[in-house]
Amino acid sequence: MEWRGRRGSNNIEDRRRTSGARVGGVGGVGLIAVLLIGYFLGIDVTPLLNDPGSTSPGGAQIELTAEDEAAGQFVSVTLADTEEVWTKVFQEQLGRPYRPATLVLFKDATRSGCGGASEATGPFYCPQDRKIYLDTSFFVTLERRLGAKGDFAAAYVVAHEIGHHVQNELGILGKANTLRQQVSQAESNEISVRIELQADCLSGIWAREASQTLGTIERGDLEEAVNAARQIGDDTLQANAGQRPMPHTFTHGTSEQRSRWFQTGLQSGDLQACDTFGTDQL
């Protein structure tokens, strides 16, 4: 993916120099083990890392490395690309403007409109404040622990979270989350899968437009994104964590489903093709 030297987004909120500093909790090998549990199983393990109040209120000054700076620039350029693409798609397919999201970069821990954010939660979108929260150390986990290598795999993560913002802009996310609160856990999980697969499909639309309109996609990039979708399927994550895959607990979809819905968006470029709520064939 060609990103160096390109325009970045103005909708980046960089909290990395003053993110909350941990002063207690699990450390060393124990910390790594707990974080992997969170990543593999999709569980917020923040309570296992710290006691309440163990993040210093004012935060500590953090020195950013060259790798941190590069990761921040990469995310900023990727976010700018999503803004350009979704502005175009909204105008052409919906006849309405696109309101971009803000992306918050942090290290270690911070606060969001949806509660605490930490390296243990992984990247997520908060509809309450319309912001994405991302600790770029997740990219290292994505490559070294989850087997999803390449810069376009990391771009797919950003595009997937922007997909949730698109859902929020369309009114889909709010309705789905409200329904989740009214049904059983198993039914709630099924709705969650539909939400996540639709975000994968929407990220596929972004990849298609980035390739055709922006011309930033290099040889092998799309394969990196498809592989990333496969590596973070619920069945693969549970198997890698030493568990027998249990479909009733899935919240994001199988590896096959995630990669297939990404490719649906990639091949069609059509918002209507991403209607995961109107089909029985997920």
H or E stretch covering 154:
helix 151-169
pLDDT of residue 1: 64
Distance, in Å, from the CA atom of 205 to the CA atom of 280, rounded to the nearest integer, reads 21
Q: What token pair was written down for 47? A: 């309570």
AA identity, residue 239 = A
What b/e sequence results for 245-268 when a residue is b if at least 16 CB atoms lie within 10 Å of its CB, and e otherwise?
A: eeeeebebbbbebbbbbbbbbbee
Give the pLDDT confidence of 162-197 residue by residue, as tens digits: 999 999 999 999 999 999 999 999 999 999 999 999
pTM of the prediction? Answer: 0.83
Evaluate whether 199 touches 160 at the Cβ level (below 8 Å).
yes
The secondary structure of 2-47 as a DSSP string is: --TTSPPPS-EEE-GGGPPPB-SS--HHHHHHHHHHHHHHT---HH
Give the pLDDT confidence of 193-225 residue by residue, as tens digits: 999 999 999 999 999 998 888 777 777 777 888
Across the chain, mean pLDDT equals 82
Residue 152 has pLDDT above 80, yes or no: no
Distance, in Å, from the CA atom of 190 to the CA atom of 176, rounded to the nearest integer, reads 11
